[in-house]
Structure 1
Amino acid sequence: MANYIRNDWTLEEIQEIYNMPLLELVYRAATVHRTFNESNEVQVCTLLSIKTGGCSEDCSYCPQAARYHTGVDVQALMKKDEVLEYAQKAKEAGSTRFCMGAAWREVRNNRDFDRVLDMVKGVNELGMEVCCTLGMLTEDQAQKLAEAGLYAYNHNLDTSSEYYGEIITTRTYDDRLQTLDNVRKAGVSVCCGGIVGLGETHEDRVKMLYTLATMPEHPESVPVNALVPVKGTPLEHNGKVNVWDMVRMIGTARILMPKAMVRLSAGRATMSISDQTLCFMAGANSIFAGEKLLTTPNPSFDEDMAMFDMLGLKPREAFKAEQENGGHHHHHTLEATTA
């Protein structure tokens, strides 16, 4: 296995890694993890839904789609002060990345977007890495977010391009890739992963990892989500994701994208500490923490800190990548805007 970052992985190579005997996969992934990262460091991220429900997309897993009856009430965009209060609490609890999610199909240039830009400025001033997930973005909107101090943008691929149409029909895979491209051009860090347990095959998972690992630049952050089946959505009867599948996804992602933060995201609430430990072993170095991960429950911060303590893990500080590169926060440099 190479000691450098590759963007030319083949499907066959990825399949081979994904299908390796499990302990061998974990060992190799752990080795790559130690080569490229501080293996005892995990970033704690908090996600807040700043605008819940009423989305016009039809993502089959999502309780926020207007067309499913899931008991999620449609709420207006939160006020900036409330959001900052939440961010402050998350920061005090040890979170260094704060992600704001809005159930929108795409960003529109209106007062709501101006309010989000304002929230981004506010959270950035708290010294946290600000992330947003607001649906599709134009290049110009990505640039505005970057100027407001946005650190990262989340936009998941969910699954392979082949299976995508089975899960979502209201937009295309290419729409997803275009938004990611717009985010990159604006000099914003990319957070992009997928969901396991949608009814996809192992091959679909391999194909999704292939798409991520062959991007000209790997996403800086790759969330691996386990489907949390929600009553009222088309996928409500899907079975629980096998923990070994999560470990395989994380281990493979770590080998393919050595420096990415691989995030243990949705579905963590139902995982035992030993299940989570295997994921950290296999190279997960980021978790979501906090009361609610958008619309699904999450273990409390205290339990997480007790787990970190027991495993000898420490929370990663904010803006670490910039410090290591000896630079500042990447948007505040002129190069980012003129390059």
Structure 2
Amino acid sequence: MSQVRNNWTKEEISDIYYRPVLDLIYEAATVHRQNHDPQEVQVCTLLSVKTGGCPEDCAYCPQAARYHTDVKVHKLLPVEEVLDSAKKAKEAGSTRFCMGAAWREVRDNRDFDSVLEMVKGVNKMGMEVCCTLGMLTQEQANKLKEAGLYAYNHNLDTSEEHYNEIISTRNYDDRLKTLDNVRNAEISVCSGGIIGMGEADQDRIGMLLTLANLPEHPESVPVNALVPVAGTPLEDQERVSIWEMVRMIATARILMPKAMVRLSAGRVKMTVEEQALCFMAGANSIFAGEKLLTTPNPEEDADKKMFQTLNLKPRKAFKETSAVKFQKIPSA
């Protein structure tokens, strides 16, 4: 069995990342099979429960108030509307339901109280419930845990070195502090990043280094390809190639063998053959539904057909307990 380590060096990760791509896929597929059922892929649904009007300046995000995009601002959705969406997602085959709000940080107000009610309701449906709401205090993380939150998403986005090129309204330590608060509340951590934002390979390696050397590996690691949106500073970025996605997924799988590696944004532009390569390289989760927050996503029927073609089966909810149970190897 592959070892779980939290003491990787940048040189070790570079050695893995730069391997000949077919060798890299083979090694990642081997690690994947040692730790997961290779025919099993979790289907998740992501719903924007509060859209647009965000005060931050994330260069990739169409929900930032300062950019002129086609995103229509809407306040927090009613609890019953969100629970109805979760019920439909479950009926369509999703086992994880994630709710996203375009906030810089969570505030202790009626909106947060409503989110706690949403969490309770989705949890009662037997789905893994996840939130992505911006920065969290320890007390807020504890309240989400008490409400039944299974996972909290807070992506690193990129390396610490490249971070200021993408975001100026918060810093990297703010991201890491929120992950600490989530972990301390014994909520499983969902954290990954985005490629295709003008970063170098060394930035991709640096982001993986940070994730793989957290005190516990994230239970969930989303790998996103930038979807350029008109009106944002990154609107003219070229689409990343499938080989860049495969390198990221395969390296993440080798570094974090127990984690769920999620094939996230950018999937709408991928063929079934390209997605199959990602699954072979260690991805074992997708997001279903029309949109990922505000960007397009493949239709459910297309995904069902792909599952049939590739002989994949949906993963059940709560199959693994949270990342706090992952084995840790002490640093040298």
* TM-score normalised by length of structure 2: 0.96
SS in 1 for 2:145: helix
Q: After superposition, what is the alpha-carbon deviation per residue over 1:51-84, rounded to whole angstroms, capped at 9, x for unaligned? A: 0000000000000000000021110100011101
The amino acid across from 2:202 in the alignment is E
In structure 1, distance between residues paired with 2:247 and 2:133:
29
In structure 1, distance between residues paired with 2:188 and 2:301:
29
In structure 1, distance between residues paired with 2:290 and 2:161:
35
| Matching of residues 163-182 of structure 1 within 5 Å | 163-182=162-181
* TM-score normalised by length of structure 1: 0.94
Which range moved further: 292-301 or 263-272? Answer: 292-301
Tell me which residue corresponds to 2:307: 308
Check the 8 A contact 2:217/2:323 in 1, yes or no: no
In structure 2, distance between residues paired with 1:3 and 1:162:
30
1:330 offset after TM fit, Å? 10
In structure 2, distance between residues paired with 1:293 and 1:330:
24
Identity of aligned residues (%): 71
| Matching of residues 251-270 of structure 1 within 5 Å | 251-270=250-269
Tell me which residue corresponds to 2:224: 225
**Alignment pair present for 1:79 and 2:78:** yes
In structure 1, distance between residues paired with 2:291 and 2:85:
12
In structure 2, distance between residues paired with 1:14 and 1:305:
35
Change (3 A) 1:108 1:256: same
Q: After superposition, what is the alpha-carbon deviation per residue over 1:228-280, rounded to whole angstroms, capped at 9, x for unaligned? A: 00000000000011110000000000000001000000000010000000000
The amino acid across from 2:177 in the alignment is Q
Which range moved further: 300-309 or 45-54? Answer: 300-309
The amino acid across from 2:250 in the alignment is G
In structure 1, distance between residues paired with 2:161 and 2:130:
28
In structure 2, distance between residues paired with 1:221 and 1:157:
13
Tell me which residue corresponds to 2:53: 54
Check the 8 A contact 2:6/2:215 in 1, yes or no: yes
Tell me which residue corresponds to 2:329: none
In structure 2, distance between residues paired with 1:244 and 1:119:
38
Tell me which residue corresponds to 1:15: 14
1:3 offset after TM fit, Å? 2.1
Tell me which residue corresponds to 1:250: 249
Tell me which residue corresponds to 2:143: 144
SS in 2 for 1:204: helix
SS in 1 for 2:45: strand
Tell me which residue corresponds to 2:273: 274
Q: After superposition, what is the alpha-carbon deviation per residue over 1:161-194, rounded to whole angstroms, capped at 9, x for unaligned? A: 0000000000000000000000000000000000
In structure 1, distance between residues paired with 2:170 and 2:73:
22
In structure 2, distance between residues paired with 1:330 and 1:60:
30
SS in 1 for 2:223: strand
Check the 8 A contact 2:188/2:323 in 1, yes or no: no
In structure 2, distance between residues paired with 1:203 and 1:330:
27
- Count of aligned pairs: 324
Which range moved further: 228-237 or 303-312? Answer: 303-312
In structure 1, distance between residues paired with 2:221 and 2:323:
19
Tell me which residue corresponds to 1:130: 129
RMSD, matched Cα: 1.2
What are structure 2's unaligned runs of at least 5 residues? 325-332
SS in 2 for 1:85: helix
Dislocated runs of 4+, deviation >6 Å = none
Tell me which residue corresponds to 1:70: 69
Tell me which residue corresponds to 1:334: none
SS in 2 for 1:216: coil
In structure 2, distance between residues paired with 1:145 and 1:210:
28
